Amino acid sequence: MQYRKQESLSGRPIATLVAAGFAATLILSGCGGGGSGGGGANSVEYTGNTQAADITDTNANEIANETFTGSDAANASNPTFAASTSKNRSSAFVTSKLLGHVDSLSKAAKANSGLPNNTPSAQISVDYSDTCIDGGTVRFTGTVDDVTKLGSLTLAFVECNDGDVVINGSATLRANAYNATIDEYTDVELIYDDLSFVGVDPADRIDWQIGANLRVEQLYTGDTSPFTQVATINLTLVENIGGASYKYDNYVTEVEFDQYLVPSTADVSVSGRLYHYIHGYVDVETTTPLHYSSVNPLRYPESGGPLIYTGELNKKIRLTPVSATLVNVSADTDGDDFYEYSITLPWAALKDDRVNNNAPVANAGNDVTIALGETAQLDGSQSTDADYNLITFSWTVTDQPAGSNAGLQGADSANATITPDMAGAYVMELMVYDGWFSTTDTVIVTVTP
């Protein structure tokens, strides 16, 4: 039997799709499964802001970016979308060592004990050292049951150079359940105990300490299609360069796949608490699962959600997938459950900070004609800002038939309405504002008798 690294959507997609939520790729790359339960403290101390985040129009994009898609500042907490792929390769190196050496370690242990390699045995004690790709060592210790494939292995890294980073510290894998029919571990715990990664190339700016506790489990029904993977993540990461610190507290991702061998869709639900070292923590939850498709090479959700981040005093950020390439980011900065700021932008364009190089572009939509008594829907959602700043909306009636008392509803949202009380032409003006500049556009509603 072979123990193999799992690293793609069509293989075991949790490592790719949990990029929907994100830090799990750090510890799941190369490791199949998803999980429930687990938790517990680790030896790396979170040094950032421990208060609930004060969500504002100026930091909403930054918080969303650094906890979802991975900016330069958040590469360590989400290497799937990192500029430097060395981080992802390095975490895959650790987990593939953990899972990929079980068979060879069993054989080595048998050889040392004098047992033939083809002789099944129960608990095998493992104490085995290996040389890393570009120097340094990794030592495997623990026990493996050669029949059930279960056991616990600890890796001790000493100046282990995998070509991208030098790894020191320890990582432990506990294999709690194994399904021989499908050749998969179905209940795994992974613990990083103050594991350090230092980049070989100083330009990569990799120098972090990682502590994590993860419980992973795969849940099957019938012939394994569909199936669900659930992961509970408790993780702390400290960037020694710059002092950034990130924490994931009881962060749960549940992924339901339509098929087992070659899944074509996945629906991802997430919940838990994420800490940003500057802004503090947000509680994260999907109202409905985020929907992914294997035909989408970018691995962004294309529908479902929204994903809600809640900070202090009920202030919120809302991420709503528009398509596989676009997302709507909205912010409720006073906690009244009304999202007064909004912008639709490419997933990859979530930004860390605001710039004011460009004025926003107001788009009040197309002129419409309705019958008296009907309600006109005004749509300013196509308004844009080249700097991808959140923008506010303000609709006003600038002209209407003499004697009309019709008023706007939702005048400070992207989608206002008006119910005219007289036939004639109504001119509505939309003003959008990005914090520095404002622009306007008009739309005419013609009302027939």
Q: pLDDT tens digit string along 50-98?
A: 999 999 988 888 787 766 643 332 222 332 222 223 333 444 445 454 4
| Residue 235 and residue 291 share a domain | yes
Q: pLDDT tens digit string along 307-355?
A: 999 999 999 999 999 998 899 999 999 999 999 999 998 887 876 667 8
Looking at 18-27, 61-70, 272-281, 360-369, which range is the least confident one? 18-27
Alpha carbon distance 317, 306 (integer Å): 10
Contact between residue 226 and residue 244 where contact means Cβ atoms under 8 Å apart: no
Mean pLDDT of 139-149: 83
| Residue where a domain stops, chosen among 314, 349, 384 | 349
| Residue 345 and residue 392 share a domain | no
Alpha carbon distance 238, 235 (integer Å): 10
- Is the pLDDT score of 270 beyond 70? yes
- What pLDDT score was predicted for residue 151? 84
Q: How confident is the model at residue 378 (pLDDT cuts 50, 70, 90)?
A: very high
pTM above 0.85, yes or no: no
Q: Is 308 helix (H, G, I), strand (E, B) or coil?
A: strand
Give the CATH number for residue 429: 2.60.40.10
Q: Which amino acid is at 434?
A: D
- What pLDDT score was predicted for residue 40? 41
CB within 8 A of 433, min separation 6: which ones?
360, 391, 392, 394
Q: How confident is the model at residue 392 (pLDDT cuts 50, 70, 90)?
A: very high
- Segments forming the whole domain that contains residue 169: 14-349
Helix, strand, coil content of the chain in percent (nearest 5): 15, 45, 40
| Residue 172 and residue 133 share a domain | yes
Number of domains in the chain: 2
Q: Is residue 358 part of a domain?
A: no
Give phi and psi for 223, each to the nearest 5: -85, 20
| Residue where a domain stops, chosen among 349, 380, 397 | 349
| Residue 398 and residue 306 share a domain | no
Q: Is residue 372 part of a domain?
A: yes
Q: Is residue 261 part of a domain?
A: yes
Please list the residues that pair with 218 across neighbouring strands.
Answer: 229
Q: How confident is the model at residue 244 (pLDDT cuts 50, 70, 90)?
A: confident
Name which residue leads in pLDDT, 30 or 250: 250
| Residue 159 and residue 56 share a domain | yes
| Residue 386 and residue 314 share a domain | no
Q: Is residue 2 part of a domain?
A: no
Name which residue leads in pLDDT, 204 or 60: 60
Alpha carbon distance 320, 362 (integer Å): 21
Alpha carbon distance 31, 104 (integer Å): 17
| Residue 332 and residue 287 share a domain | yes
Q: Is residue 8 part of a domain?
A: no
DSSP state of 232: E
| Residue 209 and residue 275 share a domain | yes
| Residue 379 and residue 256 share a domain | no
Q: Is residue 145 part of a domain?
A: yes
| Residue where a domain stops, chosen among 303, 320, 349 | 349
- Is the pLDDT score of 143 beyond 70? yes
- What pLDDT score was predicted for residue 448? 97
Q: Is 27 helix (H, G, I), strand (E, B) or coil?
A: helix
Alpha carbon distance 58, 213 (integer Å): 33
Mean pLDDT of 382-396: 93
> Taken in order 210, 36, 4, 113, is the CA torsion positive or negative?
positive
Which percentage of the chain shows pLDDT scores above 70? 75
Which percentage of the chain shows pLDDT scores above 90? 35
Q: Is residue 4 part of a domain?
A: no
Looking at 212-226, 289-303, 429-443, which range is the least confident one? 212-226
Spell out where 117-206 has E strands. Answer: 123-131, 137-145, 151-161, 165-179, 184-199
| Residue 340 and residue 375 share a domain | no
- What pLDDT score was predicted for residue 165? 85
Contact between residue 141 and residue 152 where contact means Cβ atoms under 8 Å apart: no
| Residue 68 and residue 149 share a domain | yes
| Residue 296 and residue 432 share a domain | no
Closest by alpha carbon to 213, among 38, 398, 386, 404?
A: 38
- What pLDDT score was predicted for residue 417? 97
